[in-house]
Amino acid sequence: MPEGDSLHRAASRLQVLVGEQVEVETPHPRAAVKGLAAQLDGRRLEAVDAVGKNLLLRFEGGLVLRSHLRMSGRWRVEPRGAARVGKPWLVLRGPEHEAVLWSGAVLELVGDRAGPRLGPDILGEPPDYATMLRRLRGAPQERAVGDALLDQRLVAGIGNLWKAETLWEARISPWRQLSELADDELRASLEAAHRLMRAAVEGTRPLRHVYRRPGRACPRCGGIIRSAPQGPHARTAYWCPQCQVGGNPPAS
């Protein structure tokens, strides 16, 4: 069983990634179903601490990933792109290093104890749409919907890919303010997020219509897909200005 000191050693090895924006992958199927990659990919890793028998990885936006190693789990830090055999639970990839978790055992997102609690889980069965709507309506209504959907205190679980694909599916511009959207429209986009993410969890390979496709043609209307940073963490929004109209997109 990993002892406290090996956890502290793992925490100190992981410090090379602190401050970096990380690419996140969950190659192991048992880790993939948790939807962690979608929530964490592209976020800055702010801190790594060993607390008791847990390693707590704190990401921007108040998300904390708890890793408990149990009997066989181990963290390795390797140069970016190092060759490996097998499917690790988690890979956090920075510009120069990647941290790799083997045999995850316990791997879960927990709310930041110092910060606000997470909103209802979009992958809930069934999802608590009423509370999500209440929280979205409790947020400043001048916030753009594309920014609000990534706020884990309002709705937990929607990452940057699913934000883009969900709003495209619902034909809603990420730049429209919450105040400009009817409850029906917000609810339809939450339902789309649940449907798309559920299908991905169950193994359907997600079709990307706009995510990371700037400059290409919208598969629905042929408009040219745009991208621009959005929200306090400047995460990239992708949308088709021809069939997702309205709001205040930045000038192209």
Applying CB under 5 A, which residues contact Zn ion? 218, 220-221, 223, 240, 242-243
Close Cβ partners of 61 (under 8 Å, ≥ 6 residues apart): 43, 150, 151, 152, 233
Per the document, the length of the chain is 252
**Would you give the distance in Å from CA 67 to the centre of its chain?**
17
Q: CB nearer to Zn ion: give 172 or 218.
A: 218
Distance separating the N- and C-terminal Cα atoms of the chain: 55
3-state secondary structure of 47: strand
- List residues bridging with 93 in a β-sheet: 23, 98
Q: CB nearer to Zn ion: give 153 or 226.
A: 226
CB 169 to Zn ion: min, Å: 11
CB 252 to Zn ion: min, Å: 15
CB 105 to Zn ion: min, Å: 44
User: How far apart are alpha carbons 231 and 123 in whole angstroms?
Assistant: 23
Q: CB nearer to Zn ion: give 115 or 223.
A: 223
User: How far apart are alpha carbons 82 and 88 in whole angstroms?
Assistant: 13
CB 243 to Zn ion: min, Å: 3
Q: CB nearer to Zn ion: give 188 or 245.
A: 245
